[in-house]
Structure formats: structure tokens, C-alpha cells
Structure 1
């Protein structure tokens, strides 16, 4: 029964507050209820009224009706404080899973001052924002991101309890634009790319794969079979041997190189590799099923690659079908995928 009532309430609210990056608040979409303090204050007024009737005391009557008028004025002022406010999402942010993603909103109050405005999303609250009459203010709301993918908050709460906290007027902004949440970077194990640069470079490699080797320090995630244990026992220095013949093209970050690994782990490994290559300004390309980003360098190239990892296998949310915050496809017929994401594992 409660679930049916909740579903009907959400459906009714969604019809009054459809998805949009801009919202003007007025009588149709502002809700108002007394707060806990307002309920207690009203109960005290009722006791005062009963006492005045019982004792026929004019001073109690006067004080009761005077305070009642204050309550009515406070109710109108609380509703008026939110009425006429215009809120626009001007930039949906980007960030990594497990962090917060900034959503930049612009608030304007053309009619009157909007005082003590609060914005909230997923227990993150932006308190006590004041919008002067006829002016605009940019507000940054930090939205938690738990999983990689598109970040489209179902609702951003907009509320005020000004002037006395006896009433709470509220509404919602339901953004149409979505932010992007990158996969959380994970230290990648040493694997060989399956991508070759071309026939000429492939022929130039050693046939037996053991003519050329690189020695480098051990990194977390390297396989123990590659450690030179004899050298470690002799010098205490833990190093890894990379045979050239075992590797594909060093320019490519390859999804298929992590055979047998779950998709989200692969994307985390690739995100870590993208960040490492970007920091060293190395040339690299990204090979995903159904999508190839050619080798390049620079911040723009790294941004393109990390965004491709963020949305891999997902469909962009639409106005009529929102995804939960940080939604990702994890397999099964009910989850949406791009054609490029099919058969990813």
C-alpha cells in the first residue's frame, strides 16, 4: 500500500516538475508544510486559545490572535521567498567514481530578494544562499558519484524556511543534462597489448622474442613470474624484465589485453594507464571493442580517452528515462548497452 502511494506521489510530482535544465518556481510547483517547530508553535497557540476561552481572559485572547497573525504572515512570506526564483543548470561536472562531481547552477530572483535558500542532493547540502533582487548568483553543488557512467541526479531539492523556520517551502530541479563519472583508476598489472602498429614494425621485432629486453623497477600489480629473483636475492633490488617479443605496440592501451578480467576492473586499469601516460606526456592510443582512438598526446587527447572509458557500454540518459546517479551496466538483458559494448567480456 505504501509503495503504491509513493509511486503515485512521485508520478504526480514528476508531472508538475518535468525534467529541464531551467526551472521557474511558482504556485504550481512550490510545496509548503509546517516544520516541527511550526507544529509545536501551533499546538501552543491551541492551548493558549483553550485557556483564554476557559478563563475568559482578554489578554490571552489578544496574545493568541496576535501570534496567530504572525504565523499566517510567516507562511505567506516563506512561500513568497521561493516564488519567482529561477534556477538554471549551466554546467554538469565531471569527476572520478567515489568522489564528488560539481554541478554549476545559476540562480536569479527578478522580483524580490531570496533569502536563506538551500540546495541539496544525496545528503550534500548547500546552506544559506542569498540572491539579491534583480541579480544572479552562481552556485556549485557537489553531487556524490558512486559508480562510473552518466551522472543525472533524479532531483535537486530547493527549499527555504525563512523567516522564522515555522514553515518549509520546497520544490525540485530535475536536470536534463548529465555529468560524467570516470572509472576509479586502479594500478594495472603488466600485460601485453594485442594491437600491432603495422606489418613493418612487427617484422622488425625479434622472432624468438628474447633478443631484446627492458629492465625496470617492480610496480604494484606486476606478475611475480617476471621478477628477477636471483638479482633480488643478491642486491635486494626488485626489478622486472620486459621482453620485447612478448609485447604488442607500446603506444596502445588495450581493453583486450586484460583477458579474463571483469569489465569494470579493465576500465579502472585503463583509466590508471591513461592518467600515467598523460602525466608523462607520452603518445598513446586507446583500443576498446567497437571504438578506437588513434595515438596522440596532450590534455585534450587524455580527456577524450577518459570520457570514452566513462561511458563505455552505456546509453546517454534521455529526458523521459533518467538513470540513477552513477548508473552503470553490469550485465543482463535489462541493462542498456551500446553496440560497441556487446560482448565486452
Structure 2
């Protein structure tokens, strides 16, 4: 029975507050109820009223009706504190799984000031002290994450108990935009990419393979495919063909380079490798089943690769559905099957 009631209540709320990145609070979507202190206050008023009736004491009547007027006035003020307020989702956050993803919102007051507001999502809350009438205040709201993928809070609650804490007025915002949660980085083992290093520039090479290369001594971390083995056999010196002088021959980060690891672990390995390459300022490319990101370097390239790892195999949340901690509840069977088939081939 309780589950049925909650289901019907949620459907009613969803119809009354549809998903949108801009939410205007009006009488249609604002709710107000007494707090625990307000319930006790109301019970005391009732006891005082019964006492006044019993003893026909004018002073008790006066105090009871005066406090009752204060209660009614507080109810109107609490409701007006949120009425006309507009919430706008400015930016859906990005970050790593397990971190709090920051969603940036803007609260714009209507014709009345908004005082002592609290915004919350998934047990994390942010207090907003004061929003002057007609002005805006930006709020950074953290939302907890657990898995990689898209992250869209089911609802963001806004509440106020101003002025006396006897009543609380609240509403929800159900955002449309979703944040992106990157795979949690896990230190990757030393592996070699299954891609031939520099194969993307093969068309620019001469038949000898070194007309556009710069030769340099071998350094730790260089792939064996780049060593000039014929020269090593003749002279015993290990030199490497550096293709950066032409179009570059980057170290590829390859999804298929971790045999035996499950998909999520592979993505975590790649996330760690992307971070390492980004810190070093190295040029690299990313190879995922069904998607290849061409070699590049810089912060924008690192972010692009992380986003690709975050949403690989995921579907963007639809209007009617959202997971509280992202959308990774299981890999899509068709994508998984295709990826494994490619791996076997």
C-alpha cells in the first residue's frame, strides 16, 4: 500500500512539475506544511483556546488570537518567500565517479525578496542567505555520483522556513540536462596498444619509412615498434624514429590492449592513462570500439577523451527516466556483443 501511494504521488508530482532547466515557482508547484515546531505551536494554541473557553478569560483569548495571527502571517510570508522565484540550471557538472558533481544554478527573485533558502539534492544541501527582489544569485550544488555515465538528479529541492521556522514551503526542480561522470581512474598495467604505432601517418611515409623521421636515442617508455631494429643489428645502437617532425606518431590508448579485463575496468585504466598523458603534455589518441579520437594534446583533448570514456555504451537519459547516480546499470547487450566480437576477431 505504501509503495502504491508513493508511486501515485510521484506520478502526480511529475505531471505537476515536468522536466525543465528553468523552473518558475508559482501556486501551482509550491507546497507548504507546518514543521515539527509549528505542530507543537498549533497544539499549544489549541490548548490555550480550550483553556480560555473553560475559564472565560479574556486575557487568554487575547494572547491566543494574537499568536494565531502571528502563525497565519508567518504562513503567508513563508509562501511568499518562494513565490515568483525562478531557478535556472546554468551548467550540468562533470567529474570522476565517486566525486560530488557540481551543478551550477541561478536563483532569480521575483517581486519579493527570497530569504534563507536551501537547495538540496541526494542529501547534499547548499544554503542561500538572501536574493534581493529582481536580482540573481548563482549557486553551486554538489550532486553525489557512484558510476560513470550521465548524471541527472531526479529532483532538486528548494525549501525555506523563514521567518519563524513554524512552517516550511518547498518545491522541486526536475532538470532536463544531464552531467557527465568520468570513469574512476585506476592505475593501468604496462601494456602495448594493439594498433601499429603511427599507422595513421603511414600514407605520408616513404617506402623506407624514415624519410620524414627524426632519429633520437631510445628512451624508457618508447614502443618497440618505433625502434630502428636494422640499425640496431648493424651498429648495436638503439635509436627511435620520432615522427613528431611530420604529423606525429603518438602513443595510442587502446580499449583492446587489456585482455581479460571487463569493460568498466578497461575504461578506468584508460581514464588513468588519459590523466597521465594530459599531465605530461603528451600527444596521444584514443581507440574505443566504434569510436576513434585522433591524436592531439592539451586540456581540451583530455576533456574530450574523458567524455568519450564516460558515455561509451551509454544512452542519454530520456525525459521520463533517470538514474540517481548515472545510467550505468549494465552494458547494452548489443554493444557488448559487438565489442566482444571485434575483440575475438
Partner-residue secondary structure (3-state), 1:264: helix
Alpha-carbon distance, 1:318 to partner: 2.4
Measured against aligned partners, the alpha-carbon deviations of 1:184-209 in whole angstroms (never above 9, x if no partner) come to: 1000011121111337799979xxxx
Alpha-carbon distance, 1:53 to partner: 1.2
Tell me if the contact between 1:158 and 1:170 (Cα under 8 Å) persists in the aligned partners: yes
2:109 maps to which residue? Answer: 109
Alpha-carbon distance, 1:102 to partner: 1.0
1:310 maps to which residue? Answer: 310
1:186 maps to which residue? Answer: 186
Query: Which ranges of structure 1 fall in alignment gaps of 5 or more residues?
Result: 206-211, 217-243
1:27 maps to which residue? Answer: 27
1:322–1:80 CA distance, 2 compared to 1 (3 A)? same
Mapping 1:1-345, distance limit 5 Å? 1-196=1-196, 197-198=198-199, 251-331=251-331, 336=332, 342-345=337-340
Partner-residue secondary structure (3-state), 1:105: strand
Distance 1:25 1:280 in 2: 48
1:127–1:146 CA distance, 2 compared to 1 (3 A)? same
In terms of mean alpha carbon deviation, does 123-132 or 320-329 score higher? 320-329
Partner-residue secondary structure (3-state), 1:23: strand
Distance 1:284 1:146 in 2: 28
Measured against aligned partners, the alpha-carbon deviations of 1:235-284 in whole angstroms (never above 9, x if no partner) come to: xxxxxxxxx9xxxx861100011111111111100000001011111111
1:202–1:99 CA distance, 2 compared to 1 (3 A)? farther
Distance 2:190 2:208 in 1: 23
Distance 2:339 2:77 in 1: 57
Measured against aligned partners, the alpha-carbon deviations of 1:59-80 in whole angstroms (never above 9, x if no partner) come to: 0011011101111111111111
Aligned CA-pair RMSD: 2.3
Distance 1:269 1:203 in 2: 35
Following TM superposition, where does structure 1 have runs of at least 4 consecutive aligned residues deviating by more than 4 angstroms? Answer: 199-205, 212-216, 339-342
1:126–1:303 CA distance, 2 compared to 1 (3 A)? same
1:342–1:315 CA distance, 2 compared to 1 (3 A)? farther
Alpha-carbon distance, 1:214 to partner: 6.3
Partner-residue secondary structure (3-state), 2:338: coil
Partner-residue secondary structure (3-state), 1:343: helix
Distance 1:90 1:328 in 2: 25
Relative to the length of structure 1, the TM-score reads 0.83
